[in-house]
Structure 1
Amino acid sequence: MISAIIHGNEICGAFALDQLLASGFTVDRGRLILVFANTIAFLRFDPSRPYASRFVDEDMNRVWSVDLLEAPQQSVELARAREIRPFAESADYLLDLHSTSLPAPPMLLCGTHVKGLDFAQKMGYPSHIVADAGHAAGVRLRDFAAFGDATSAQIAMLVECGQHFDSNSPAVALNTIFAFLRAADMLDSVPKDVPDLPPPDTQCHIKVTDVVTTQSNRFAFTRNFQCFEKVAKGGTLIALDGTRKIVSPYDDCVLVMPTQQPVQGQTAVRLGRYVVK
């Protein structure tokens, strides 16, 4: 299963899936499910307000706990997630296509289990692998049910294809799709008419050790950090959350996807370190 527009303003995945459908693409083995997830939010996209259509009622990538899906709560995103649930449960492999609000290198988020890291390395694309457990605010589709179970053979990847409106992000999404399908042994070769991006010389692996969740509405970074920027010294002040000081927990700490406008209760940044084989 390949899903796009879990967030309505992350349009690169929709472009990639549309290209697959328009070309008549088929896999060599197995069954491929393509999901346009948050279509209501997507159809509200306004180029003059490009971030307003991320969701309608709530973040659709925080609703994927079984308890919440089976609870009485109602929202546009929950209703759609409940429709998608049986398809996700039936998938041996899942790829969820995303993009970032700030410029960032493409990256695979593989979860914390060995099965995810092994599959990400088998894909060989894109260049960065991030192993993290998700968000305090809710469960991602990537971590839903068996995908987040170390003992299950079902595997899910989340790919960030670069900045939302980077002209290269649809090509990154498409190349990631083909890397995913080949790793899942569903595809023997990439179609000739696909714009190919050079594979990375090597993949680097970042293990997230800390997730900084905002506790106040006065969170601010000490400066404009970039994704994958390395803080050399442990104990360096990197942000203030009201009166709470956020410091790098160790030397050579890597900042993963620092958020431009952190919202109380949401992830502001992930902190990790490079893993050397």
Structure 2
Amino acid sequence: MPDNIPLPPALAAIVAGQTLRGLPRLDVRITAPDIRPFLGGNALPGVWSFTAPEPGPHVVVLAVTHGNEIAGAVVLDRWLRAGLRPARGRLSLVFANLDAYARFDPDDPTASRFVDEDLNRVWDIETLEGGRRSCELRRARVLRPLIETADVLLDLHSMLWPSEPLILTGQSPHAAALGLALGVPPLVVADHGHIGGRRLLDYEPFSAAGSERVALLVEAGSHWEATTVATMEATAARLLRHLGTVGPADTVLLPELPGPGPARLAEVTRTITARTPGFAFVRPFRGGQVVPERNTLLALDGDTEIRTPYDNCVLVMPGLRTSPGHTAVRLARFADD
């Protein structure tokens, strides 16, 4: 059926069923580390902060913002056990959502994303200082004083749906420049966030106009794969080297990495939020996929067609099963096109 002919409801239901049959297997191929030795922290619960004698930026590397994204815990656990210390400035390693992480069960690995609400949707002043109460807001309020001292923050994430790894920068030009300089992973995406709340990436100290403080979010690959751990660690290690936070003495712990790849910046022009329970892609698209032709049919949201607005449209993290009010996909174009 040509893309420019609307699908009748019966055929749309069949397409939706085909998409759902393409869901990924939820195999957990890495082990969640035992972080109990690190729960006390030396700065805050679950937070370890080290200051070097030489001046430099305060770099915060933050893991398990979502309790089931255990790859970041693997990286920080490895670094803490190995005794990583900064050569310049200050380095803080943060296990973010301790309560959700404690609930992780490899037999039900999606259940521990959060306890009460998404910790990565509460980072605005009104919410942080308002009267709402939740497990995640309580943790955000504890972490906030440390976060507000960060010059550079890297938030380690992984993905449920099939996708190429990428770096998210929000709208900060400084963050986009840093992401391109790192080059790992090579896809850098400038986006506008989610309608459901502000991410740590979007928190005012990093996103305010003119701010030179930078926050990056790396989506390193599928949740529970060893390759995701490797990508995550490579991104974090390159950041520490790029900023001069670690020195030559750390070459064994953080071995030299290949030079940056051909990094490209993709700018999100449209965020698609599901409106109906029947939102469905017409086929199981992959994140990072480039759809070559404008007006290609991507999905149906009730009777509404979602189509590519331009040639070479980059699909950013399509969620193949999306509920109303949640981001289904972001559409982007390469800045150098």
TM-score of the superposition, structure 1-length normalised? Answer: 0.95
**What amino acid sits opposite 2:222 in the alignment?**
Q
> Counterpart of 2:217?
158
Q: Deviations over 1:173-214 (max 9, x none)?
A: 211111111233322345314466644531122111111011
State the SS of the aligned residue for 1:13. helix
Distance in 1 (alpha carbons) for counterparts of 2:140 and 2:212? 22
1:215 aligns with 2:238: no
TM-superposed CA distance for 1:31, in Å, is 1.0
TM-superposed CA distance for 1:161, in Å, is 1.0
Distance in 1 (alpha carbons) for counterparts of 2:89 and 2:232? 21
**What amino acid sits opposite 1:234 in the alignment?**
R
> Counterpart of 1:20?
79
* Greater shift in the superposed pair: 80-89 or 235-244: 235-244
Q: Decide which structure has the larger Cα Rg and report it.
A: 2
1:229 aligns with 2:282: no
Pairs within 5 Å for 1:134-213: 134-189=193-248, 190-194=250-254, 198-213=258-273
**What amino acid sits opposite 2:135 in the alignment?**
V
Distance in 2 (alpha carbons) for counterparts of 1:43 and 1:260? 27
User: How many percent of aligned residue pairs carry the same amino acid?
Assistant: 44
Equivalent residue in structure 2 for 1:92, among 136, 145, 151? 151
Distance in 2 (alpha carbons) for counterparts of 1:166 and 1:255? 22
Q: Which segments of 5 or more consecutive residues in structure 2 lack a partner in the other structure?
A: 1-59
* Greater shift in the superposed pair: 109-118 or 32-41: 109-118
Pairs within 5 Å for 1:73-88: 73-88=132-147
Distance in 1 (alpha carbons) for counterparts of 2:256 and 2:116? 37
Q: Which segments of 5 or more consecutive residues in structure 1 lack a partner in the other structure?
A: none
Aligned length: 277
Distance in 2 (alpha carbons) for counterparts of 1:225 and 1:171? 24
Contact 1:29 1:185 in 2 (8 A): yes
State the SS of the aligned residue for 1:168. helix
**What amino acid sits opposite 1:201 in the alignment?**
G
Equivalent residue in structure 2 for 1:239, among 296, 299, 321? 299
TM-superposed CA distance for 1:77, in Å, is 0.8
Contact 2:182 2:242 in 1 (8 A): yes
CA 1:196/1:44 → structure 2, altered by over 3 Å: closer, same or farther?
farther
State the SS of the aligned residue for 1:40. helix
CA 1:164/1:125 → structure 2, altered by over 3 Å: closer, same or farther?
same
TM-score of the superposition, structure 2-length normalised? Answer: 0.79
Contact 1:235 1:248 in 2 (8 A): yes
Distance in 2 (alpha carbons) for counterparts of 1:168 and 1:198? 16
1:72 aligns with 2:131: yes
Distance in 2 (alpha carbons) for counterparts of 1:110 and 1:161? 14
TM-superposed CA distance for 1:232, in Å, is 2.2
* Greater shift in the superposed pair: 263-272 or 106-115: 106-115
Q: Deviations over 1:66-115 (max 9, x none)?
A: 11011101111111111111111111110000001123222111122211
Q: Deviations over 1:210-254 (max 9, x none)?
A: 110111111101111111112222222211111222111112211
